[in-house]
Structure 1
């Protein structure tokens, strides 16, 4: 066998992955992968005969490590040059890994990647300004830029959640029209849905079902919880809002879900919602319920009665899910 033939066979033996496959395996959106390549040169994929990107196993591993590091609060611009071993060490030895990160942990060193804001609150302010102008293109681009700069967990925790709280407050005070509120909701819903669908499934991982009970029609909290659960390695079955107890129970039995996440936002202290939670517990006596949302405290009695795990925020949700796997 000559050298050319050997090289050709060795090349053919290297498995290559499409952008879609890499996105599914790493949990990164195609937009984020392309941006990281262009801005930071984190990987250098080859091209197939149709000029489409092709990634090898090393590229996938590196992107996965970088994604985990950004989810932990490190800015991509400050770790893009790290080797695989350095990234693994960073994730293993990260200070405060078991504790709740402080807001300061999310802000990278000064002077890194100056063209992109790295302070979560800055994105909220820019989004509000664009929303007042009903500038749809800017709204979309701000969320995409925040994902790249901050990582998925920080984006959801410190941009999306406070943003929607701010929009709701502005609408209640009459500072924006209902059309503005609807535009913000639809923009964020579409974006979070894209994040969730890009994360794919994890072979052998447990399933968790995410929804809201009947008469709870606000879904962004549930959708954010679904993204958070998927980032923690769960296979998420997201069914949208306003689902009757019987349907939730049927879906849990179908998927073999290890837990149910419910979001309670509005209305508060609703007898119908209380009865739905009691009914759901009767249908699913051994399945953990993890319940959050700003209306959760008004349902404290029924949540205690049904043995639900209550969480204050997405960080608490992640820790609750982590505890369920022990």
Structure 2
């Protein structure tokens, strides 16, 4: 049985008010939901289309001029605009203060509620850039300075892993441009960066196969081969001799024709010149989005 969502949930996910969503349906037939005794019901295909429409409207398009276009036409139009520039939303300075206060007090319920509130109020892409990435950075700084304990860092890890995992499943593209395997190499246990990358890749029209962190090269290469992945994306936080060796082994075992993308703060210290493979260094998350849209185009 297909999953269906009520109008208020879909409006929040798409970044619209329920009134705006109703107006788009009534005036322009932007989407045609199912009807039941409980009211309008929407599927993942409706959500994906509404996200496309809303992103284009935010970039200056009139809804009346784009509502009749097919999903593929909307993606092409959005890709053309993204190829010109990939903007990164800036979060308000105090947005994370309530959540950080809850984390400091080990108030798991309050921290989860605050994260859920932000997830409902923001679009998925804005959630990654305005909440997930800044929160990861701030928690890392406080842990390094000794103001947060390892247990508190683990609390945040679990919250974000659950949130991003659920969102990846919800926003998996219906007609992906290609499949991408995402992981971190053996010895690299930090997974926030690659989780955020998987979420953004999904929003950019890629089918992400997220394997989790700390995997041997042979396991990553085997997963890429079994899924016919066109790209393997790795996130590396710290350079080490082991990381370089794992990267070399992965490049040697990669499926023919697949690309290897390497990002994260530690990637700048890796030697990618001797890999003998189609390897791209991804300097940041906007660069990852740009490369994903290259495949979409």
TM-score bucket (shorter structure)? 0.7 to 0.9
1:273 matched to 2:253: no
Q: Which residue of 1 aligns with 2:10?
A: 33
1:54 to 34, 37, 41: 41
Q: What is the aligned partner in structure 2 of residue 188 from structure 1? A: 160
Structure 1's 240 and 274: CA in aligned 2 closer, same or farther, altered over 3 A? same
CA distance in 2: counterparts of 1:249 and 1:34, whole angstroms: 39
Q: Quick one: structure 1 residues 220 and 84, their matched pair in 2 at CA, closer, same or farther if it must change by over 3 Å?
A: farther
Cα distance change of structure 1 residues 215 and 94 upon mapping to structure 2, 3 Å threshold: closer
Unaligned stretches of 5+ residues in structure 1 = 1-16, 24-29, 108-118
Question: In structure 1, which of residues 278, 296, 302 is the aligned counterpart of residue 267 of structure 2?
Answer: 296
CA distance in 2, matches of 1:36, 1:199: 10
The correspondence for 2:274, drawn from 297, 305, 309, is 305
Alignment of 1:86-105 (within 5 A): 92=77, 97-102=82-87
Please report the RMSD computed on the Cα atoms of aligned residues, expressed in angstroms: 3.6
Asked if 1 retains the 8 angstrom alpha-carbon contact of 2:200 and 2:289, the reply is yes
TM-score by length of 1: 0.72
Instruction: Determine if contact 1:70/1:152 at 8 Å carries over to the other structure.
Output: no
Q: Which whole-Å CA distance do the structure 1 matches of 2:132 and 2:201 have between them?
A: 16
CA shift in 2, pair 1:164/1:48, >3 Å: same
CA distance in 2, matches of 1:169, 1:281: 33
Cα displacement (A) at 1:237: 0.9
The offset of 1:97, in angstroms, is 4.1
CA 1:156–1:32: 2 relative to 1, 3 Å: farther
Structure 2: stretches of 5+ with no match in the other structure:
26-32
Per the alignment, do residues 146 and 84 of structure 1 end up closer, same or farther by CA in structure 2, a change over 3 Å counting?
farther
Structure 1 segments, 4+ long, off by >6 Å, are: 93-96
Map of 2:30 onto structure 1: none
Contact 2:48 2:173 in 1 (8 A): no
SS of equivalent residue, structure 2 residue 262: strand
- Pair member with larger Rg: 1
Contact 2:86/2:290 (<8 A) preserved: no
Q: Could you say which residue in structure 1 is the equivalent of 2:139?
A: 167
C-alpha contact (below 8 Å) 2:128/2:196 kept by paired residues? yes
TM-score (norm: length of structure 2): 0.78
Mapping for residues 103-114 of structure 1, pairs under 5 Å: 106=89
